[in-house]
Chain A
Amino acid sequence: MNNPFDQQAAVPAAGNPFVPPAANPQREPVLFSGRGAEYFGIWIVNLVLTVLTLGIYSAWAKVRRLQYFYRHTTLGGSAFDYHGDPRAILKGRVIGFLLLLAYNLSFQYSPVAGIVVAVVLAAVMPELLRRSLRFRAHNTSWRGLRFAFDGDTRGAYAVFLMWPLITVLSAYLLGPLWHQRLKRYQFDCARYGDTRFAIDAPVAAFYKVYGLALLVVLLGIAGTVALLWPFAAANPVVFMFLPMLLIVLALFVQPYLAARLQNLVWNHTRLGAHRFESTVSARRLYLITLTNLLGIVCTLGLFMPFAQIRVSRYRLGCVTLLCAGAIDDFVAGQSADAAATGEGAADLFDVDIAL
């Protein structure tokens, strides 16, 4: 065989004392086998039942959607699985809806009441988000072992309340630093079985990614304003297109950020002695996002399930697990038994907030 990777792998690492075992790790790619046409059926049934039940079915729909995506994601010959209880998700959605309603109504009532509710919301939100992270991790499994998240409340208040405030006060200059702290909280407190995740992505790398994105946006705005300026003198209506321009720029920058941040985070993440590799190309993701948007607009949204599958297939397919040893060696932590008895509050409810 001429494949250099095969030759490398053929050298028995243990037989060569000068090469540490981790130097040529076994590569286990993440595979995603979901198909758009197949997922369309699940999506449409979910949609119809959610509309007919005025939103109540949405919790069951979420479980079926996640199960479809998790079970089609394979690593080392076995699939991931999702175990969330729809009733817990429904409870979380009701709580979220009530909080949102209270927030909106109180501002109608009086600004003082609005501020009071906003402060209360800010005070409880970090704890809700922490529980959401726990719920999500706890209900994800691979090879029969559950993931877990044991971040503490203090950490949650730091990354979900303190850092956002600091970010706003610093005119978003500290935003990338906040993002790094958030990822550290998410990954350093996560476990698979009793094996811990760890992340060592440097702050400078976050600044580089966000800096480039900002540069593109600023150049885009400057370029378009310069382009529109000659027409603007004759007709100020031209500037009504500026918000539209911002949307286009956001669509342009979003795939770039998604690609670079995924690579940054996973290339610096360890699971025990194992590492990950993520090779998402911003250009490829941009093409996929753009064609997805065209498809969704042209089909009034019916292309959405296909779009979700396409993005997942590309983004998941770019991740590889670099095994430092046998992947059979993971064992359950003390949580294995707790899982059966229900880990207390973790299953109480799940608040949907994307992170």
Chain B
Amino acid sequence: MSISHSDPAPSVAALYFDGRSARAHPVTLTLHGHDLHLDGAGLSRIDALPAVRLSEPMGQAARIITFADGAHVEVRDHAALAVLLAASGQRDSTIVRWSFQPRAVLALLAGLLCALWFAWQFGLPWAARQAAPHVPDEVVTALSQQTLAWVDGGVMTASTLDVQRQQSLRSALDAAARVDGQSLTHALMFRSGGAMGANAFALPDGTLIVTDQLVALAGNDDEVLAVLLHELGHARSRHGTRMLLQGSVSALFMAWYLGDVSSLLAMAPTALIQAGYSRDMEREADDFAARMLRRQGLSPALLADMLEKLAAAHDKDAHSPDSLPAWLSSHPDTAERIARLRNGDFMLN
């Protein structure tokens, strides 16, 4: 060698593959200025540093230096390579460095959990609220009919309530379900609740379903009307559609997230995520019902009475094995909602 340095040029042992055969050639890589020299038995090549490509570090895995003509070397001596790379001024990309720094990984993990929690808590409900009015009526109707078919397919059976009682409840609701002189779209259906017991719910298209057990639980038609108006509040604000949108997006995310492991596993959590209306939605529906009851000259406390009765009925049922915990999710809030309706601190506008 003609040039003599005080430090020897950094060199690394490697395996060379020419891209034409599977034969491994043991070689030595040396850095001279901006040139990478490769030397082995009967082999020698010089490549300018900008013309070679270095694979990102991945733990103990071999790093691969690829040349412009498709040949490459595999390097497993990571310590020697680090010295050579330091001399060449090479620096890994930010994304690569993040992946291998425990502190960066922890920070990213925390950031991810925060972002997901925020998106689920605020982002998703907001997006669903924006999107719900734009869901075509045909889709809402089709979804509602599907749900109704499911309900009639074994969950509930035909009502045994006498026709006159049904008629009087219908006309009471028709009279009450008006805003600014306009009648709100709705349909009232009676069913026998089966395992669901005393219950009432709204389908996204405004169909209200009330069980015979709930009518029996109520002392009079006004109390039933209070519950129906609450459900109509859900339908009017498209709460069902919103929950459905949120549920679908959550399901999609879970399917993607857990899809790698088992698509079976992905189905389980979505059922848990979509467990009834949010507290805010219940409040909104309560406010709507209270307003409509006042307009009819009735007291919002009627709804509070019904909530109390329903909670008690389902509490009692909870000890029998065949009750479904439908009210479980909103249960802790029920006392608060009752107090709100009794004290009249709901929104009247």
A residues whose Cβ falls under 8 Å from a Cβ of B: 33-35, 38, 40-42, 44-45, 47-49, 51-52, 64, 67-68, 71-72, 74, 77-79, 81, 108, 142-145, 193, 235, 237, 247, 250-251, 254, 292-293, 296-297, 301-302, 304, 307-308, 327-332, 336, 339-340
Indicate whether A48 sits within 8 Å of B108 (C-beta atoms), given known contacts A41-B98, A145-B22: yes
Beta-carbon contact of B95 and A49 below 8 Å: yes
Beta-carbon contact of B321 and A42 below 8 Å: no
| Residues of B contacting A64 in the complex (Cβ-Cβ under 8 angstroms) | 56
Beta-carbon contact of A71 and B98 below 8 Å: no
Within 8 A of A (CB), among B58-96: 58-62, 64, 70-72, 74, 95
Q: Is B17 an interface residue (CB 8 A)?
A: yes
- 15 A-B pairs in the complex with CB atoms less than 8 angstroms apart: A33-B61, A40-B105, A41-B101, A44-B112, A47-B112, A49-B95, A51-B112, A64-B56, A77-B24, A144-B17, A237-B321, A254-B262, A308-B260, A332-B21, A336-B20
Q: How far is the CA of A237 from the CA of B58 in the complex (A)?
A: 52
Option from B58, B102, B139, B265 in Cβ contact (under 8 Å) with A71: B58
| Residues of B contacting A304 in the complex (Cβ-Cβ under 8 angstroms) | 258, 260-261
Beta-carbon contact of A142 and B61 below 8 Å: no
Indicate whether A301 sits within 8 Å of B258 (C-beta atoms), given known contacts A38-B100, A44-B105: yes
Beta-carbon contact of A301 and B257 below 8 Å: yes
**Residue of chain A at shortest CB distance from B98:** A45
**Residue of chain A at shortest CB distance from B264:** A247
| Residues of B contacting A68 in the complex (Cβ-Cβ under 8 angstroms) | 58, 61
**Residue of chain B at shortest CB distance from A327:** B22
Beta-carbon contact of B111 and A78 below 8 Å: no
Option from B23, B139, B321 in Cβ contact (under 8 Å) with A235: B321
Option from B62, B100, B142, B261 in Cβ contact (under 8 Å) with A41: B100
Beta-carbon contact of A45 and B108 below 8 Å: yes
Option from A79, A145, A297 in Cβ contact (under 8 Å) with B19: A145
Option from A33, A42, A78 in Cβ contact (under 8 Å) with B15: A78
Q: 17 more A-B contacts (CB under 8 A) besides A35-B60, A40-B105?
A: A44-B99, A44-B109, A45-B105, A47-B112, A48-B108, A68-B58, A77-B24, A78-B74, A79-B64, A108-B139, A143-B22, A144-B21, A144-B70, A292-B261, A293-B261, A297-B265, A331-B21
| Residues of B contacting A251 in the complex (Cβ-Cβ under 8 angstroms) | 262, 264
The winner among B22, B195, B257 for most chain A CB atoms within 10 A is: B22
Indicate whether A143 sits within 8 Å of B24 (C-beta atoms), given known contacts A40-B105, A71-B55: yes
Beta-carbon contact of B261 and A328 below 8 Å: no
Shortest Cβ distance from residue A275 to the other chain B in the assembled complex, whole angstroms: 17
B residues whose Cβ falls under 8 Å from a Cβ of A: 15, 17-24, 55-56, 58-62, 64, 70-72, 74, 95, 98-102, 104-105, 108-109, 111-112, 115-116, 139, 142, 195, 257-258, 260-262, 264-265, 268, 321-322
The 5 closest A-B pairs by CB, nearest first: A144-B17, A330-B22, A41-B99, A71-B61, A328-B23
Shortest Cβ distance from residue B127 to the other chain A in the assembled complex, whole angstroms: 12
Beta-carbon contact of B58 and A331 below 8 Å: no
Option from B22, B105, B139 in Cβ contact (under 8 Å) with A144: B22
Q: How far is the CA of A56 from the CA of B312 in the complex (A)?
A: 51
Beta-carbon contact of B322 and A235 below 8 Å: yes
| Residues of B contacting A51 in the complex (Cβ-Cβ under 8 angstroms) | 112, 115-116
| Residues of A contacting B22 in the complex (Cβ-Cβ under 8 angstroms) | 142-145, 193, 327-331
**Residue of chain B at shortest CB distance from A40:** B105
Q: How far is the CA of A44 from the CA of B257 in the complex (A)?
A: 12
Shortest Cβ distance from residue B303 to the other chain A in the assembled complex, whole angstroms: 31
Q: How far is the CA of A251 from the CA of B263 in the complex (A)?
A: 11
Option from A34, A35, A44, A340 in Cβ contact (under 8 Å) with B70: A340
Shortest Cβ distance from residue B99 to the other chain A in the assembled complex, whole angstroms: 4
| Residues of B contacting A307 in the complex (Cβ-Cβ under 8 angstroms) | 261
Beta-carbon contact of B95 and A328 below 8 Å: no
Q: How far is the CA of A307 from the CA of B156 in the complex (A)?
A: 43
Q: How far is the CA of A108 from the CA of B138 in the complex (A)?
A: 9
Beta-carbon contact of B19 and A71 below 8 Å: no
Option from B70, B108, B265 in Cβ contact (under 8 Å) with A296: B265
Beta-carbon contact of B72 and A79 below 8 Å: no
The winner among A78, A235, A331 for most chain B CB atoms within 10 A is: A78
Shortest Cβ distance from residue A294 to the other chain B in the assembled complex, whole angstroms: 12
Indicate whether A48 sits within 8 Å of B111 (C-beta atoms), given known contacts A33-B61, A237-B321: yes
Q: How far is the CA of A79 from the CA of B76 in the complex (A)?
A: 10
Beta-carbon contact of A72 and B58 below 8 Å: yes
**Residue of chain A at shortest CB distance from B23:** A328
Beta-carbon contact of B74 and A145 below 8 Å: no
Q: How far is the CA of A77 from the CA of B257 in the complex (A)?
A: 35
| Residues of B contacting A308 in the complex (Cβ-Cβ under 8 angstroms) | 260
The winner among A51, A251, A331 for most chain B CB atoms within 10 A is: A51
Indicate whether A67 sits within 8 Å of B58 (C-beta atoms), given known contacts A47-B112, A237-B322: yes
Option from B17, B55, B98, B111 in Cβ contact (under 8 Å) with A143: B17
Q: How far is the CA of A51 from the CA of B109 in the complex (A)?
A: 12
| Residues of B contacting A35 in the complex (Cβ-Cβ under 8 angstroms) | 59-60
The winner among A44, A144, A293 for most chain B CB atoms within 10 A is: A144
Option from B21, B105, B257 in Cβ contact (under 8 Å) with A328: B21
| Residues of A contacting B105 in the complex (Cβ-Cβ under 8 angstroms) | 40-41, 44-45
Q: How far is the CA of A304 from the CA of B256 in the complex (A)?
A: 13
Indicate whether A336 sits within 8 Å of B19 (C-beta atoms), given known contacts A45-B99, A71-B61, A235-B321: yes
Beta-carbon contact of A331 and B20 below 8 Å: yes
Option from A38, A47, A329 in Cβ contact (under 8 Å) with B58: A38
Option from A38, A292, A328 in Cβ contact (under 8 Å) with B59: A38
**Residue of chain A at shortest CB distance from B268:** A247
| Residues of A contacting B55 in the complex (Cβ-Cβ under 8 angstroms) | 67, 71, 81
Option from A47, A48, A108 in Cβ contact (under 8 Å) with B142: A108
